[in-house]
Amino acid sequence: MALAPKTVTCRCGHTFTATRHRNWCEKCCEAVYYHEKDRNRHRVNSIYVVGIILAVVTFLTYVFMELIASPLLSA
Ligand SMILES: [Zn+2]
């Protein structure tokens, strides 16, 4: 979906025209968002994903300990 061209400024100071929600700065290759609030939303999403991964890893560790390590230790 194309957006109306809008001038955005990257954190490095490079100013260019953005036509998508997420654009890449040509100078430092960082993501520059069309809407400033999108940056925070993406950050929250990343934290959420990391949280889910941590929960899954913790759960798998627990299952491993219960099913595999416990019988070995008690044998
Ligand atoms: Zn930049």
Distance 28 CA to ligand 1 centre (A): 4
Please give the Cα distance from 41 to 44 (Å, whole number): 5
Structure confidence by residue, pLDDT tens digits, 21-43: 999 999 999 999 998 887 788 88
CA of 15 to the centre of ligand 1 (A): 8
Structure confidence by residue, pLDDT tens digits, 41-68: 888 888 999 999 999 999 999 999 999 8
Spell out which residues have Cβ within 5 A of ligand 1, the ion: 10, 12, 14, 25, 27-28, 30
Could you tell me the distance, in angstroms and rounded to a whole number, from the CA of residue 26 to the centre of ligand 1? 7
Ligand 1 center from residue 25 Cα (angstroms) = 5
* Residue 32: Cβ-neighbour burial (10 angstroms; 0-12, 13-18, 19+): buried
Is it the case that residue 70 has pLDDT exceeding 70?
Answer: yes
> Which residue ranges make up each domain of the chain?
1-34, 40-75
